Amino acid sequence: MTRSHALTDHAAIRRWVESRGGRPAVVRGTGHGEGDVGILRIDLPGGAGEEALAPVSWERWFEKFEQKNLALVVQDETAAGQPSHFNKLVALDTIASPDHLDEHGPARSR
């Protein structure tokens, strides 16, 4: 059985994303005003790609991540034991229990 878990620690998120060849991104055209990067996404190989997503620095991505009080729900492996690319950004307060958080708990790493 595969399980998903939520990450809030910046270093853990970055490790998970980069270990799958991904990078931080935003949906093109979704920023509202100066300084707003828009809707956050993780750009992974085989995903939406450059037409829909624009790369953004980790610094700006995490700034919006913190501002919106988010967690990244991920799955480490597929049922077949392969690295999973499943990820979803969710509001931190929607996570059922602290057991679903990464090893660093709800505290944020900045």
Classify residue 54: in a domain, yes or no.
yes
pLDDT in tens, 75-86: 999 999 999 999
For residue 24, the enclosing domain spans 4-93
Classify residue 14: in a domain, yes or no.
yes
Classify residue 76: in a domain, yes or no.
yes
Q: Is the pTM of this model over 0.85?
A: no
- φ, ψ at 100 (rounded to 5°): -85, -5
Band the pLDDT of 107: cuts 50, 70, 90: very low
Classify residue 45: in a domain, yes or no.
yes
Name the domain count of the chain. 1
Q: What is the pLDDT of residue 108?
A: 42
- Strands (DSSP E) along the chain, which ranges? 4-7, 23-27, 40-43, 53-55, 70-75, 87-91
- Residue 45's SS3 state is coil
Classify residue 13: in a domain, yes or no.
yes
Residue 12 clears pLDDT 50, i.e. is over it: yes
pLDDT in tens, 33-83: 777 889 999 999 987 777 899 999 999 999 999 999 999 999 999 999 999
